[in-house]
Amino acid sequence: MSCRRKFLKRAGYTTVSALLATGFLQKYKQKEDYSTNADRENYASANVTSSLRQLAAAKGKRYGAAISSDFLLKEKDYANLIARECSIVTPNGELKWNATEPQPGQFTFESADAIADFCQKHNIDMHGHTLFWHMGKPDWLPYPPTLKMIEQHVKGVMGHYRNSKVLKSWDIANEIIADNEKETDNATYGLRKGLKPELIRDLFLIAASVDNSKKFYLNDFGIEGATWKSEHFLKMVEYLKNSGVKIDGAGIQSHLWFSTAYSFDEKGFNSVLERLNDLEVKPIITELDIIIDAPLPDSIEKLDQMVADSYKRYLDLCFAAKVDTVITWGLTDRHTWIRHPDWMPGKTFRDNPNLWKFLRPLPFDENFQPKPAHNAIAQAFEQAS
């Protein structure tokens, strides 16, 4: 077995290589029309002296990133940067089922607690990700798990953080909507094969019975526009609301692709945000990062400017719809999942190692220096009402 396959197997990613092979990541890409961006902002030359967490706080908002306990322990400058910039963090993997309940009924919280302690020390909120997912799960666990397994897991994990002052919200369920109509056996809600809406309802009910003091989210990707997926996601949110289940918010992951070659669905995304607000389900941005798709510019400077423009455009839309929490999936390009060989995105990049340097999706670069994307995020917070 190749190293890559071994890794995929160990991590439980039976479908990842297949998904990459079919280019599924392409399906939720978004366009930026750089040519008409007449008032291009001067992010590159902007002199941002405040941290993103300060700029966000000035508008009653939160900014944060997904972080890893490993890096926190090993890289002091990384820990300092997170403490300075973030008012909320999401553990990258430390709260997933494979990390917290590696054997049935045996719980371990060492690495997640390391993040919770860090949050406590630096006055940072922690977003609990996630109690239920088809990946990041131990080999013994079927998908979907039985209700009994869910009950044991939710009691074990949520119970551990019941009295936590920093853990304020949970992604109760992650990525339950299928990628398209061919991959569901549930026409109404478009759930992943084998999933029933009642199971998700019961998961939320169990969660509320363990600890209803936290905010409960349903989290997903590919819902940043009027897509088959966003339509079904909204239906599922509505179903949960109508079932009388506690659901406070919707996590809009926002792993985005922008390009001059295809359209950004501004109208569709606005309507998703509006419909969530109408349902009184608060939209937050949970996993934002931005890839620029082909045609690629001829320099990294231009690429960074395009990433920055895309951040600004996206966040302006979010803030106009009163979104108050933005979490990027990582803080620096040194740690982004997108550069990991097992996640290397679709056709443009996967087979072209000379293009990997164009994967610069986050606000800080590999050397922890702020990029134009950082200044664009700063400016979006400054201009938010």
Does position 253 interact with ligand 9MR (CB under 6 A)? The reply is: yes
Q: Judged by CB, which is closer to ligand 9MR: 21, or 261?
A: 21
Does position 268 interact with ligand 9MR (CB under 6 A)? The reply is: no
Cα 173 to the chain's mean position, in Å?
A: 13
Nearest to 250 by CA among 315, 329, 169, 188: 169
* Interface of this chain with ligand 9MR, residues 106 to 145, rule: CB under 6 A: 135-136
Residues that contact ligand 9MR, how many (by CB under 6 A): 10
Q: Judged by CB, which is closer to ligand 9MR: 253, or 325?
A: 253
The enclosing H or E element of 267 equals helix 266-278
Nearest to 319 by CA among 365, 281, 354, 273: 273
Cα 240 to the chain's mean position, in Å?
A: 21
Least separation in angstroms between residue 130's CB and ligand 9MR is 7
Least separation in angstroms between residue 101's CB and ligand 9MR is 14
Q: Which 3-state string (H, E, C) describes 116-163?
A: HHHHHHHCCEEEEECCCCCCCCCCCCCCCCCHHHHHHHHHHHHHHCCC
Least separation in angstroms between residue 36's CB and ligand 9MR is 31
Least separation in angstroms between residue 292's CB and ligand 9MR is 18
Cα distance between residue 121 and residue 334, in whole Å:
24
* Interface of this chain with ligand 9MR, residues 153 to 182, rule: CB under 6 A: 174
Q: Which of 71, 109, 228, 337 binds ligand 9MR (CB under 6 A)?
A: 337
With CB under 6 A as the contact rule, which of the stretches 17-25, 92-100, 269-277, 373-381 interacts with ligand 9MR?
Answer: 92-100
With CB under 6 A as the contact rule, which of the stretches 34-42, 88-96, 241-249, 374-382 interacts with ligand 9MR?
Answer: 88-96
In this structure, are residues 285 and 252 in contact, taking their beta carbons and an 8 Å threshold?
Answer: yes
Does position 297 interact with ligand 9MR (CB under 6 A)? The reply is: no
Least separation in angstroms between residue 302's CB and ligand 9MR is 26
With CB under 6 A as the contact rule, which of the stretches 56-64, 77-85, 89-97, 228-236 interacts with ligand 9MR?
Answer: 89-97
Does position 92 interact with ligand 9MR (CB under 6 A)? The reply is: yes
Q: Which residues pair with 292 in a beta bridge?
A: 258
Q: Judged by CB, which is closer to ligand 9MR: 288, or 378?
A: 288
Q: Which residues pair with 290 in a beta bridge?
A: 256
Cα distance between residue 372 and residue 308, in whole Å:
5
Least separation in angstroms between residue 123's CB and ligand 9MR is 25
Nearest to 241 by CA among 280, 273, 198, 283: 280
Cα distance between residue 231 and residue 219, in whole Å:
14
Q: Judged by CB, which is closer to ligand 9MR: 116, or 378?
A: 116
Q: Judged by CB, which is closer to ligand 9MR: 135, or 355?
A: 135
Least separation in angstroms between residue 289's CB and ligand 9MR is 9
Does position 93 interact with ligand 9MR (CB under 6 A)? The reply is: yes
Residue with tokens 């094969």: 193
Q: Judged by CB, which is closer to ligand 9MR: 336, or 379?
A: 336
What is the number of alpha carbons within 13 Å of residue 319 lying toward its C-beta? 22
* Residue 283, SS3 per DSSP: strand
Phi, psi (degrees; rounded to nearest 5) at 332: -125, 155
Structure tokens at 247: 């659901």
Q: Judged by CB, which is closer to ligand 9MR: 131, or 378?
A: 131
In this structure, are residues 134 and 155 in contact, taking their beta carbons and an 8 Å threshold?
Answer: no
Cis status of the peptide bond prior to 363, with omega within 30 of 0: no
Structure tokens at 175: 């990525």
Q: Which of 41, 85, 224, 287 binds ligand 9MR (CB under 6 A)?
A: 287
Least separation in angstroms between residue 337's CB and ligand 9MR is 3
Positions that interact with ligand 9MR (CB under 6 A): 11, 92-93, 96, 135-136, 174, 253, 287, 337
